[in-house]
Every structure is written in structure tokens, then in C-alpha cells.
Chain A
Amino acid sequence: MSAIGKPLPHDSARGHVTGSALFIDDIPAQVGELHVGFVGSPVACGEIVRIDVKGALKTPGVVACYTAEDVAGHNVFGLIVADDPFLAREEVMYVGQPVVVVAAESPAALELGRRAVVIECRENTPVLTIEQAIAENRFLGPVRKIARGRVDENLASAPHRLSGTFKSGGQEQFYLESQAAIAYPGEQGQIVVHSSTQNPTEIQAVIAEVLGLGQHEVVCICKRMGGAFGGKETQAAIPAIMVALVASKTGRAARVIYSKDDDMCVTGKRHEYLTRWECGFDEGGQLLALRCEYFSNGGATTDLSPSVMERTLLHGDNAYYLPHVEFTGKVCFTNLPPNTAFRGFGGPQGMIVIENVLESIAEKLGMDALEVRRANVYEVSQRNVTPYGQVVDKNHLPEIFDTLTEDSDYKRRREEVAEFNAKSRLQVRGLALTGMKFGISFTTKFLNQGNALVNIYTDGTIQVSTGATEMGQGVNVKIRQLVADEFAIDPSRVLMMPTSTEKNNNTSPTAASAGTDLNGAAAVVACQEIKARLRKFAAEHLADSESGLVASPEHICFSDGSVHDERRPQVRIPFEQLCEDARRDRVDLGARGFFATPGIDFNRETGRGTPFFYFTQGAAVSEVVIDRFTGEMRVLRCDLLIDIGRSINPGVDRGQIIGGFVQGMGWVTNECLIYNEKGELLSHSPTTYKIPAVTDIPPEFHVRMFPNYDNTQNIGSSKAVGEPPLMLALSVWAAARNALSYIKPGAELDLKSPATGEEILRVLTGLQMDSKPAHSSEIAIPRR
């Protein structure tokens, strides 16, 4: 009886629903614990002229204020390029950039202290937009390129050509638990930090660097996060350093909890993109050549932006074969908080561009966009090599497209939509099917490793520690199932321990959808090592000279909570007894497993290689209705079909699929980051930043997993599920565009993402004005 494939609840579900699962701010305060906050730059770009903390220090209850001058070790860090200051010293690069850390006895004193800090800056004109950065030639890192074939030649000879620019907006992660950390001073300068982070190893390393400690003197622990979505991959560092600094200097425990407003104002988000594209295609809508020049808004420091851009280039093709292609990418250097990882990591920004291109082609040719997509989708034995040279192995996309077309009743609904649009003067409906292929692995090769510690106790229960952090995605219950399956015991006997750098060293961030792949595989390696020892021990135990059964570890089976020799299955040793006996026989019941993804490599200079272990694939159909007079849009129905291999936990995975999709829907519909000309974020709380609410969920919503067990190279033949579903939501955006294409067939459409009501009304109004340029103020309404 396997634990794999069962929809077990999340391992903390009971704690979540009863309110007993502790997040950082729920940890009881230690005696003398300090409340920590910061004061940030008042301007987006400038030099610090004066920092005055005297008033703050006089505020009753304020214990300390620290600036960059108080940092003993390095004040600047960064995973790719060390250009991210912990506290700004002379130059400030974005509004709210931390300058002064304040520590106080109470939240109220902290608030008064923060207000009493004076930071004077000489203000320079900030660069905020991609367009400004391009004009001023401000970029972070090198230009990246992936290309194949002869693009110019094939553009020139193509029967049809189109070109344009496309903009997609940024997106706030909107994890519910804001950035948070607590530091406890240890003996002899050592520090223990509890951080809401996807990357404990990084937190450990930067704290050691900033405090001038050895990494062995810092422990970082993460029990769970109240959501992360990429936003706590690098950006949990600054708050963690703040409390480590305070704890180290004062010898008192220190806690920082960002308010939602502060968090949204000063931390990085999904990169906004501007893409210039041109394409050539034939009568059947097949792409002959595509060129895309991607520009992302990187913000003020490098952070992960080059890697995000790399993933954009690696996903510019999405699910479609491109014979001649050139993708180039540049990261714009602006005065916004450093943009960072967010579920999809540049993939969505690349994929939405080609989906827009395919919709444009369909409109130009007067074809159904599904036919255009079907003509371009990666095939199985030919037309199956990506622009960077990796073969799309075990490709199921054509099958997924056809199955979903059928299951979603696409063709009938297409007719219905057309009929409705011809009749309704109030509304217009749209329908679209988009594909999704997402490469699994970190594109930075060395990160594709994981280690795990498996400790078995003499009652047959097991503690597992890995580098995977639990942010809600259910990695813990999945690893629990994998480990239980190895020993054929009930999953309740396996417990996942808080992620700690003390147990697992040099771990990769829990990111790139690879948490279970890497850490689950490492845990299984550890289990197998222990099993080998237990097999040997059990073989001797179960050997029976009388019946001529010689000890043979190969014949030892773990099943149903016990161990037996398959040649004599009637004799079984319960697992717990085996463990007890093994210990008494001095058999080691603990092991550390290590896993490194085999066979992947990518040369960023040439833009060629095999960066991905495999691809998660899928497709989605969405239908929307738009109010012709207000631009308001509702999503009526969605059908998702996704290949995630053999699901380790269908309950958890379904949650990832739906949750990811809805998050993507937010990105392409209502989530808008609005900055003023000074670089201050105006939409910095849920009052003004609108993530999908329960009533935005399509009333008809079908989610299916494509049955597929052929991903045998990955743990349990599963496929990663964290990020890919987000990009199924491109179908919602495409459906909005499709609806607008009915207003004035053949007209050029310029719909940005997100397709907010305002954006849609802008396009609607433009289309109607164009149709009657002589009476520009008139509203054109289709005649009945």
C-alpha cells in the first residue's frame, strides 16, 4: 500500500484551521525582546545629506538606531552581483530603501522612534520606467540572447508580417505574512534567526557577512511561511539582517514584522516588461520567423533579474515551435525597489508575448486563434527542438490541445460566442485556448542540488529534515509521503522538521518549482541508504538455516509496516521492532542523502544547452464577458488540462493548479502597480491593489490532470507543479483580446496586460473612435 498518490492533507492543516500553527509574529516574546523597524529613503534617487537619529534616541522606549556606519562586515550583498546594500550609505536608489534601523521596547515606541528619525537627501530625478531607462541606456548586467536560424531572411520572405510592442505589468507577490524575522543572540556572538524565508542558507550567509561572523556561527530556521511566491527568495534577507544586527549589538532578542504597506512599498515584485516583436507567417498561420526584444524593469539593484530574464528567453517559445527565432533580453536599471522572483520567474512575461503574437496572427488571417496555435504547437517527432537546442522529449502538447478542445466543447462555444456577440449590444464575449510548456530546473546549474537528513527512532518513527521550506505548497506532506513509501509505513509516522541550516547545509532556495524534486529525491536517497543497512540486518535476522534460507538482502521487502524475506513472506518483523533490534545491533538508523539533477547544462553565452530536466505542460480554455460600456470583465468559465506526471498528492497538486491559475488571472486582469512620478507606490495595500477575490473565480471551473506516467527520470514519475499553472491564466487575457476582436474585425488591437476594466475600455473606445473618425465623440454601437 503506497502512500504516494493519496490526497493527504497539508501537514499543518490542523494547525492552520485551529490557529495554532505558529508564524514568526506568533512566537511568544522573550523577556527583553526588542521591536525592530526601519526608516527608508524619502526619495527614489539621490544622495543622503544628513541622518539625524538624536530625536529618535530621545524617544522613550527607543533603545538603538543603526545606520550603515554600524555594520561591521560587508554592507553590500547579492546572489548574482553584490550590489544590494543592506542599509544605504551615501546613495539612495529607491523610495523606502532602508537607511536607519530602529529598535524599541514596544511597537508604540518603535513607531514614535521611526517618525523622529530625520533623513535629508539631495534629490535627483529618478528613472522609473522601461522607456526612460532605454532612452538613457541604463541596464543591469549583460544582454542575453537565444537565437536560431536566419530570422531576417525569413521575415523578409514571409507571406505575412506583423510587428508591435507589448507591455505586461508587474505584480506584487502579496504573500499574506509580510516579511518577518526574529533573532536570538547566542553564546560568544553566535546568532539564531527565525526567518520567513525561502532561502535559509542565503540568510545564514548574508548575516554572517554583515556581522563579520563565520557561517558556522549563524543558524537560520524557517518553520513555515505565510506565503512567499518568490518574494522571500532573496528579499527576506534585509529584515533578517536587521534583527541579527540588533540582537548582536544589544544582546537582546529582536523581532521585525513589516507592515503590509511597508512590505509592498519597499520589496521587489514581478518584473514589468516591454517587448518589441516582429514575426513572419504563412497562410495557415504557421510562424516562419519571430524576433522579440525583451526589456524588463529590474529596479535599483541586480537581485535575480538576469536569471529572470534568462527564463524569459527560454520561454519566449512557450508551447510553439519556432524555426527561425531571435530573442534578446535587457534588464533596465531604474529607481524602483529591486524586482525579484515571482512564481513563473520571467516565464509568464515571455509566454504572454507569443500568445499575443498568435492572437494577432489569427485576427489578421481571420482564423480562429486555436487553429493558429495548433499549427504551431511543438510536435512529437519533428518540429520538437527548442530555440536553445533542447529536444522537447516525451511531448504531449498536441494530445493535450486536442483533448482539451474536445473536453471544453470549444467549437460549439465558439459558435455561441459569435452568435451572442452579433446580438448583444451591451456585452461582448471572448474565448481562447492557450498552451503552456514550462522548463523544470534552476537555469543556474549549481542550484540543482538538495540534501536531506533522515533520522529513524527505535519506535519506527522518522524525522526528516531537508532544505525545502514550506510556504503552503505542501512540500512537507509530499516528502513525508515519499519517505513513508520507501519504508512502507503509514505517513503519520513521518514528521517533517523545521528547515534549519543546522540540519541541512548549503541548500538551494525553495524555488523554480523544484522543491519536491530536489529535496524529495535527496530524502529518498537517504532512505535507500538506511534501507540497505536494514536489509542486510533483516536478512540475517530472517535467515533460517533449517529451511535452507540463507541471508539475502536482495530478497528483503518493506511492505505494510513490516519487513519480510520474499521467499518466506509469512514471517514478518514489524518495522518498529526491526528498528529497535537494529539499534541494539549497532546499525546506524540515520542518513544524509544528496541529490544533484543529472544531465542538465546551459551555456548562457551561446544561449544553447539542455537547461531543463523535463517540461511540465498543459493548456487552458477561458471564456470571458466584457461590458461594452464600462470595460468591466467577468470570467465565465475555465477548463484546465495539465500534465504533472504521476501526482504524489493529488489534493495538494490540485490546490497548486487552481491557486497558481487564479494568481495568474490576477496578473493579467486586475493587479495594477501604480507609481507616482516620484517613484512612490500608490497601490500599496489591498484597498488599492486588488488580488482576485472569491467572486472572481469562474462560476464554471474544470480542472483535470492529464494522465501520464512517463516522466520516469523524476522522483516518483511526478512533475513539478508550483509555477506552471500560473501561465494557464494567459488564456484569460487571450480571451479578453478575443472578445475585443469582435468589436471591429480586422482592426489592430493594442491590449496590454493587465486587462483591467480601464484598459479594456480604453481599447473599446479607441476601436469605436477609429471606426468613425469624423465623429470622434460618438459611440459606435453595432446595429441590430
Chain B
Amino acid sequence: MRDYILIYVNGVRYQIRFPQARISLSDFLRRELGLIGTKIVCSEGDCGACSVLVGRARENELWYEAIDSCIAFLFQLDCTHIVTVEGLSKSGSMNDVQQALVDCHGSQCGFCTPGFAVALTALQENGCSGDADDMRVGLTGNLCRCTGYVSILEAGLTSHLTDDQWMDSMYPPERMLEDFYAHSAEDVVLVEEPSPQFLSKLASPASGSTNGQKAPVLPRVFCPVTLASALQVLRDSPQALVVAGATDIGVRVNKGQKLPDTILDLNRVRELEQLEIVDGRLVMGARASWTDLELLVRETIPEYYRIVKVFGAPQIRNMGTVGGNIINASPIADSLPFYFVMDAELELRSADGSRMVNINDFYQGYKKFDLQSGELLTRVTVPLPEKGELFRLFKVSRRLDLDISSFTAAIRLRLDGERIAEAALAFGAVAPTVLRARNTEQFLVDREFNEETMREAGELAVEEVTPISDVRGSEDYRLQLTRNVLMKFYLENQPDAVFV
């Protein structure tokens, strides 16, 4: 067992203990290491100015991806190599991305620029095709207010890292990998040094369990390696906040919420990374990352890929997890309508055993769900639409990319000739939870799939939702979207549909 996390920054090794390990990566870089090239703008993972590369060990290599350092806690990053803008090139020089940004007038005020330099370098590290569309998708996590992006895209499209500019050349991975693997088997527990006051409290008779009061607990962060030990932690400390990607709690802490004292970090639990399609089912470990999911579904489930592609941004997808989106339990969670219409199964485990729950039975109200004390979401299994089924996912947001949905929907129909044999409809952002429109589904079954049916279904669907007005859209807007989406679905499924 270790009481520190091991991290490299621009090739330099650090061992970080409690309480420092609880601060954000960006605070560590800027305030403690003086690496001020990493900029802070929004503190919520929505602008990318704080982007850094994180190199993680995978199959004896270091894989570098861009993440938002402002919403990543150090404790999530054990055995990683962080490269900041200062580390992209040797001191006094520029890598080809940086040079191209200079040559193409890719910087104006310069405040977003370090983030773009990092994101563009990450794209090259990850083998971005160099196709303009891929480049755009790869840069959706970075906002620029000055340039209008064109010059930045030009820099991206014309730059090519030279052999000595790849991360593996700049920072030979062997020594770091050796170090990481040497430390990979131990659980990490970061714990506060007990203060004299704490010890005296422990000693005082009032603190004993005899009077029903709980013994004081020292703040601590558990970073176990195995699922078994993670479940053990949850059994012993059921109050622990479970953290995987932290893309939500990271924001909330930056906006003033206190980070809970006890934390169970899942970032080192490899057993939760499973991601595959088996027997027509998509099987996802709870900690599978959105980026890995994106790679998997791009060819295999193109309809889901359309949603995954605009889920957050690359930096968020590189941290955020499949399970996080489910347990965060937001009615606007992008992944949920799909799971709802497919009757996805959730595997919930505790130290005592496991059970399966249909996702349609999981949510009980706004941010309320059927997860018992000591239980952890471990796996999600989604049966995939069968061939010939009509299946569409919808996400409406103010901005196409990196935006939270104003409205989501999933529609799945099985036709028997012209007749609708089966129907599943799910809507998000129109009620306290994502919901299935059961009445509308019933109405649809056995009816002919035509405009009249879908128009009437739209009117029925409106009766099943209870949207509110908020910053992302008015009640009327959401009702109208609910009404319209069925007809949109119908027309999109016509063979002669005309669209750009």
C-alpha cells in the first residue's frame, strides 16, 4: 500500500501525498510548479484553455490524450505523465504545431492558444487523419473568441510533428513505464496525518461507539487496484464519494462545493474498463471512457456514434465514463434515451453480491435512483437494434458541439410491412428523469407507419412529458420538440428524403 500518488510532469517525477493530492491538476501546475502556460478561464471543462496531455500506460506504451486540467484532481492521475504547453517542445524551441500556429496567425490574444497547441499536438499523437472534419471534431473542446478558428484549423492541417517532436522522442517512455508498472499493483490510500486534536478526540470517551456516535474519520482518498478492494472500501465507507472521470464533481468543487472527505477513486480499476460487442449486445464496464466508446461505435453503431461524437468534447470524453453519465442521473444525460429504448441492463455490485436492473426501473425521481449503500454500478449491457428496425437518436442543443442538451429523444420501431409491430420512445430533458412514453408506444403498435399516425403520436407524446423552462429552453420549446420529433423521424425514414 502506498500513501502517495506518482506523477510525472514534463518528464519530472513527483510523489504527491495528502492533502495536496486533492487539489486540481491545474492548481498544482500553476501554483505549485509555476507552469503558468496552462490557462484558467471557465473552471468547468467548457473552454479547453487548461488542456494538458496525459500519458497513460497501456500495453507497454504511453498513450497521450488531452484533458482539461482544471477539473481533474491529482488523485485521479496516479502513474501518468502530464505534459503541459511548456513541455511540448524543448525549451526555446517550438514543435511543428506551435510553429504552424505562429505562421498561420493562429493566435491573437493568446489566452486560448496554449490549449489549442496541446489539443492539436494530441490530435497528431492520436493519429488524427488530417482531414478537416476530423480536425474540427478534435478541436471542439477548445474555445477561441478572437480568431474565428480558421487560422487555427489551417495550422492544424499544415503541421506535422517531426520525429524528434513526438512525445515518445521528447520523453522516452521506458523509464516512466518501468516506474509505473513497479507501482501499479499497490492500492493507494491517501490519508491525512492525524493531528493531535484528532488523536485526542479518538481518545476521549465521548467518541466511542458506545453512545451511538460514529468515531471521527480522517479524510482519505482510496485508489484501489481491484474491483474487490473497491467494493471492500465501499462496504467499510459507504459514505465515500465514488469518483471516476470527475467531470461533474470537478466542476462543482470549482464552483464552491466542498470535496467530500472520503473518496473512492476508480481510475486504477482495470476490471471496469471492459468494452465490447458480444452477441448483439454492447457491453460496457462502468469506467469505460467515452473516447474508447467513440472508437468502438464509430463503425459498429453509427447512430449512437452521432451522439457520442458530440458528447462533451475530446477532453471530457478522455476522462468521462459510461457509468458516470448513468449515475450522475441527469434527465439531460445524452446516453440515456438510447439505453431506455433498448432496455439496457445495469449490473450493480457490492461486496456481498450483484444484481441486474433494467434501466427503465432504475431512476426514481430527479437524481434519485435504485442504488443501495455499498453498491457500485459495474457494467451496462445494451441489446442492439436488430436489422430492419428503424432507430434514431436525437439531441437538440443550442450549439451543436460541447453543449448540454435542451432536448433528447430515442425512437425505435419494428415494422411488419407497413404496420408498426413494436415501438419504443424515450425522451430526455422534458421531465425529472429520462422517460419512456408508454402511452404513445401503445398507440403506435398495430398502426400503419404513416404521417397521420406520427402526427397523432406527437400529440400524445406531448401529454406524457412535463418539461420546465430553464436556461436551456422554454417549456413551449420542449413541448414543440416532443411533438415534432415523431414526424421528423417519419420523414427521415422515407427513402426519398431530401436534406443537406
Contacts and interface: CB of A to CB of B under 8 A. Distances in A.
B399 interface: yes
Interface in B86-113: 86, 88-89, 94, 98-99, 101-103, 105-113
B109 A18 contact: no
A276 interface: no
Contacts of A215: none
A423 interface: yes
A218 B433 CA distance: 57
A20 B117 CA distance: 13
A695 B147 CA distance: 14
A17 B109 contact: no
B105 A9 contact: yes
Contact of A779 (B43, B102, B481, B484): B484
B399 A694 contact: no
B471 A655 contact: no
Interface string A694-726: 111101010100000000000000000000000
A195 interface: no
Given A176-B41, A686-B47, A758-B477, A471 B398 contact: no
B451 A781 contact: yes
B153 interface: yes
B477 A687 contact: no
A426 interface: yes
Contacts of A779: 455, 458, 483-484, 487
Contacts of B485: 629-630
A7 B104 CA distance: 9
Nearest to A725: B148
A74 interface: no
B269 to A, nearest CB: 29
B contact face: mostly helix, strand, loop, or mixed: loop
Interface stretch (A143-151, A220-228, A551-559): A220-228
A690 B402 CA distance: 9
Contact of B139 (A10, A178, A654, A694): A694
B145 interface: yes
A756 B398 contact: yes
A683 B473 CA distance: 12
Given A17-B113, A426-B491, A662 B149 contact: yes
Interface string A171-191: 001111110000000000000
A contact face: mostly helix, strand, loop, or mixed: loop
Q: Tell which of B46, B117, B399 has the most Cβ of chain A within 10 Å.
A: B399
B499 A16 contact: no
Q: Tell which of A13, A682, A762 has the most Cβ of chain B within 10 Å.
A: A13
B303 interface: no
A18 B86 contact: yes
A672 interface: yes
A632 interface: yes
Contacts of B102: 9, 13-14, 17
Contacts of B484: 629-630, 761, 779
A176 B140 CA distance: 16
Contacts of B132: 699
Given A18-B85, A688-B471, A695 B400 contact: yes
Contact of A670 (B36, B44, B398, B487): B398
Contact of A691 (B143, B477, B491): B143
A216 to B, nearest CB: 31
Nearest to A660: B148
Contact of B110 (A16, A228, A695): A16
B399 A690 contact: yes
Contact of A227 (B42, B146, B401, B472): B146
Q: Tell which of A627, A632, A636, A672 has the most Cβ of chain B within 10 Å.
A: A632
- How extensive is the interface on chain B, given as a class? 35 or more
Contact of A655 (B147, B255, B483, B498): B147
A175 B498 CA distance: 40
Contact of A629 (B101, B488, B497): B488
Contacts of B140: 693-695
B108 A655 contact: yes
Interface in A453-495: 471-474
Contacts of B42: 260, 685-687
Q: Tell which of A22, A261, A688, A695 has the most Cβ of chain B within 10 Å.
A: A695
A691 B146 CA distance: 11
Contacts of A367: none
Given A629-B484, A693-B143, A111 B101 contact: no
A694 B37 CA distance: 22
Contacts of A548: none
A79 to B, nearest CB: 24
B113 A659 contact: no
A389 interface: no
B110 A425 contact: no
Contacts of A173: 145
Interface string A382-413: 00000000000000000000000000000000
B111 A659 contact: no
Given A424-B499, A426-B497, A225 B109 contact: yes
Contacts of B99: 17
Interface string B361-396: 000000000000000000000000000000000101
Interface string A1-43: 0000001011011111111111101101000000000000000
Contact of A176 (B35, B49, B101, B492): B49
B105 A7 contact: yes
Contact of B471 (A25, A683, A694): A683
Contacts of A18: 37, 85-86, 88-89, 94, 98, 114, 117
A691 B94 CA distance: 29
A506 interface: no
A471 B35 CA distance: 22
A631 to B, nearest CB: 8
Given A14-B94, A261-B255, A693-B401, A655 B139 contact: no
B356 interface: no
A687 B111 contact: no
A661 interface: yes
A757 interface: yes
A471 B109 CA distance: 5
Given A420-B498, A694-B149, A655 B114 contact: no
B101 A17 contact: yes
A472 B44 contact: no
Nearest to A658: B148
Contacts of B108: 10, 227, 472-474, 655, 659
Interface string B216-247: 00000000000000000000000000000000
Interface in A724-773: 756-758, 761-762, 765
A10 B102 CA distance: 8
A151 B332 CA distance: 53
A425 B491 contact: yes
Contacts of A651: 105
Interface string A579-607: 00000000000000000000000000000
A19 B84 contact: yes
Contact of B145 (A429, A630, A691): A691
Contacts of A19: 35-38, 84-86, 114, 117
12 contacts: A10-B107, A10-B110, A13-B105, A19-B35, A176-B144, A226-B111, A426-B497, A693-B400, A694-B142, A694-B144, A694-B401, A696-B400
Interface of A: 7, 9-10, 12-23, 25-26, 28, 111, 173-178, 224-229, 259-261, 420, 423-427, 429, 471-474, 625, 627-630, 632, 634, 636, 651-652, 654-655, 658-663, 670, 672, 674, 682-683, 685-688, 690-697, 699, 701, 703, 756-758, 761-762, 765, 777-779, 781
Given A17-B102, A18-B86, A674-B471, 13 more contacts: A9-B103, A9-B105, A17-B101, A19-B36, A654-B151, A655-B148, A670-B399, A686-B47, A697-B149, A758-B473, A758-B474, A761-B477, A777-B459
5 closest A-B pairs by beta carbon, nearest first, are: A19-B37, A472-B109, A226-B111, A16-B110, A662-B148
